[in-house]
Amino acid sequence: MGDKIRVTVWNEGRHEKTNATVKKVYPKGMHKAIADYLKTQPDMTVRTATLDDPDHGLTDKVIHTTDVLLWWGHMAHHEVRDDIVDKVHQRVLDGMGIICLHSAHFSKIFRKLMGSGCGLKWREAGEKERLWVVRPGHPIVEGIGEYIELPHTEMYGEIFDIPQPDELIFISWFQGGEVFRSGCCWQRGAGKVFYFRPGHETFPIYYDEKIRMVLANAVRWAKPVKSFAPYTTHYQPLEPLPASE
Ligand code: ZN
């Protein structure tokens, strides 16, 4: 089935090993929770990779046979090898989609793709979040309705130090009063980038039905566009040009 979208779910995977609460919420790790859902989608083939795998599970072969990469990291961003970040970055420019989740806002790959600091405000109080859809009709929000409500989340607040998104999909409201650009799209080279905020490790957010729908929708949106022509090339004129004197 050559037409299936080849998805790799990458997870740092450290909280699940060291924190009992996280282990209870995600016994097999967040990557497995996300991958198990995406595997139910008939148009996707799904692999997982983690920081502690050889080459972080991101060998050249894996990178070059991935159409869409999901990335979750938090406490060990600095342990991700720069040469692998460079390869993932190049692959995005060449057309691979990437979906950066939650605390991946501070990952090396997201910051490299954004070219800005990517800082934000945060608070871990388990408060309510409502993600408002501000781009109805976009493929990422197909089937989502007006908003997604999460009863307990970590707060992320503006200002989020990112370049202006090409498309803004969600704005979050938090019980404590802050707002946040929770779903943002960019194009980098031939590749699509989606940042999606929900997913703090101590809350069962990746089991939420609507959050899962957004992830599957985002994978479909971010898959490489096959017709994208090479654009870095010396170019002959399409029409005859007047001879220069
Ligand atoms: Zn968090």
pLDDT per residue, tens digit, the chain (245 aa), is: 468 999 999 999 999 999 999 999 999 999 999 999 999 999 999 999 999 999 999 999 999 999 999 999 999 999 999 999 999 999 999 999 999 999 999 999 999 999 999 999 999 999 999 999 999 999 999 999 999 999 999 999 999 999 999 999 999 999 999 999 999 999 999 999 999 999 999 999 999 999 999 999 999 999 998 766 666 788 899 999 998 76
Quick one: tokens of 226? 């096959």
> How many A from CA of 156 to the centre of ligand 1?
9
> How many A from CA of 184 to the centre of ligand 1?
18
∠ Cα 114 115 121 (to 5°): 70
> How many A from CA of 122 to the centre of ligand 1?
8
**CB within 5 A of ion ligand 1: which residues?**
103, 154, 200
pTM for this one? 0.95
Inter-axis angle of helices 209-222 and 30-38, to 10 degrees?
A: 70
> How many A from CA of 189 to the centre of ligand 1?
29
> How many A from CA of 231 to the centre of ligand 1?
38
What is the pLDDT, as a whole number, of residue 1? Answer: 47
> How many A from CA of 43 to the centre of ligand 1?
30
> How many A from CA of 104 to the centre of ligand 1?
9
Give the fold, CATH level 3, of 5-114+182-222.
Answer: Rossmann fold (3.40.50)
What is the pLDDT, as a whole number, of residue 233? Answer: 82
Domain boundaries, the chain: 5-114+182-222
Q: Are 8 and 70 in contact (CB under 8 A)?
A: yes
> How many A from CA of 197 to the centre of ligand 1?
9
What is the pLDDT, as a whole number, of residue 235? Answer: 87
State the Cα–Cα distance between residues 75 and 167, nearest whole angstrom: 29
State the Cα–Cα distance between residues 196 and 61, nearest whole angstrom: 26
∠ Cα 192 134 108 (to 5°): 35
Q: Are 178 and 158 in contact (CB under 8 A)?
A: yes
Q: Which residues are CB-neighbours of 194 under 8 A, at least 6 positions away?
A: 97, 98, 99, 100, 140, 169, 183, 184, 185, 218, 221, 222
> How many A from CA of 75 to the centre of ligand 1?
10
> How many A from CA of 190 to the centre of ligand 1?
30
